[in-house]
Amino acid sequence: MDDEPIARAILREELESFDDVEIVGEAENGAIALDSIHEKHPDLVLLDLQMPAMGGFEVVQNLRNGTHIPVIVVVTAYDKYALQAFEAGAIDYLLKPVSGERLAEAVERVRRFTGREAAERLTRLQEMAGQPAIPQARRIVGKIGEEYVLLGADEILAFQAEGDIVWIITAKKKCRATQTLKVLEQRLKNTSFRRVHRNALVNVDHVRKMSALSSQRWLITLANDQGFVASKRQGRKVRQLLHG
């Protein structure tokens, strides 16, 4: 369900490559999408959040929670709304332009969901859709293999970039972030996260100790004993927070 003909054509072409996927309909706006869902009872709905006549969240809010509940996968060009929808109950989210590989991951994820799980997710999405405003998300989405995990900001010790990959570090696991370090820093502005290096954000609530390596560098050690080297300027900022 997407108001862009080219976007629908690309998705349709990719979906047609799956032997066990049958396309029962498509819609150019939210009102048509809602009628089509009620009439054709699809198992999976790829739903754009920004559509004329009725947006994706309005479509979700007006779905009848009856015997056949579709699995919702959000499709959008805006990662902020995609992440919030995923956190609220969407089975998965796809950012435009959607690649064939990423679509295949979403379809495989949908296959593993039961009707009961889909109904529970839909209820959560409907609750979110009924809110007057979408709140700023404080939960972080990570990925381990093909699975997505939701992490509270307070349980994250640090984010560490290695080339194009950003790792989320917790006390018990390490997973890949779905956003860049710059975006994560902006999302976590005014929280306990601070940039200590161009490749690292640390949660000062999990800093165990700080040691001066030289007149220009500090070693910041986290609760999991992992260390990050910070410049004198960045280290001073962290130390001020710890003593504040």
Nearest to 141 by CA among 172, 105, 177: 177
Q: Measuring CA to CA, how many Å separate 105 from each of 12, 50, 101, 165?
A: 16, 23, 6, 19
Phi, psi of 131 (to 5 degrees): -75, 145
Distance between CA atoms of residues 97 and 14, nearest Å: 12
Distance between CA atoms of residues 207 and 209, nearest Å: 6
Other Cβ atoms closer than 10 A to 199: 14
Higher-confidence position of 216 and 81? 216
Task: Supply 207's token pair.
Answer: 């800093």
Q: Read off the pLDDT of residues 186-212 as tens digits, 9 standing for 90 and up.
A: 888 888 898 888 899 999 889 888 888
Q: How confident is the model at residue 179 (pLDDT cuts 50, 70, 90)?
A: confident
Least confident of 139-153, 154-168, 193-207, 229-243: 229-243
**Amino acid at position 215, single letter:** S
pLDDT at 132 over 50: no
Domain covering 5-129 assigned CATH 3.40.50.2300 in the classification: yes
Q: What is the mean pLDDT of residues 18-24?
A: 89
Q: Delimit the CATH 2.40.50.1020 region(s) of the chain.
A: 154-243
Q: Delimit the CATH 3.40.50.2300 region(s) of the chain.
A: 5-129
Q: How far apart are the first and last CA of the chain?
A: 51
Q: Read off the pLDDT of residues 56-86 as tens digits, 9 standing for 90 and up.
A: 777 877 776 554 678 888 887 766 666 666 6
b/e for 86-110, b at 16 or more Cβ within 10 A?
Answer: bbbbbbbbbbeebeeeebebbbebb
Q: What is the mean pLDDT of residues 155-178?
A: 92
Domain covering 154-243 assigned CATH 2.40.50.1020 in the classification: yes
Higher-confidence position of 213 and 236? 213
Q: What is the mean pLDDT of residues 26-46?
A: 87
List the beta bridge partners of residue 160.
167, 200
Identify whether 97 is preceded by a cis peptide bond (ω within 30 of 0): yes
Note the helical H segments in the chain.
Answer: 5-15, 30-40, 56-61, 79-88, 100-111, 115-129, 181-187, 232-243
Distance between CA atoms of residues 164 and 192, nearest Å: 24
Q: What is the mean pLDDT of residues 24-42?
A: 87
Distance between CA atoms of residues 57 and 86, nearest Å: 12
Higher-confidence position of 39 and 90? 39
**From the centroid of its chain, how far is CA 9?**
25
Of all helices (H) and strands (E), which one includes residue 218? strand 217-222
Distance between CA atoms of residues 143 and 166, nearest Å: 11
Least confident of 24-38, 71-85, 102-116: 71-85
pTM of the model: 0.51
pLDDT at 136 over 50: no
Least confident of 73-77, 124-128, 238-242: 238-242
pLDDT at 148 over 90: no
The predicted structure's pLDDT at residue 168: 96
Q: What is the mean pLDDT of residues 142-168?
A: 87
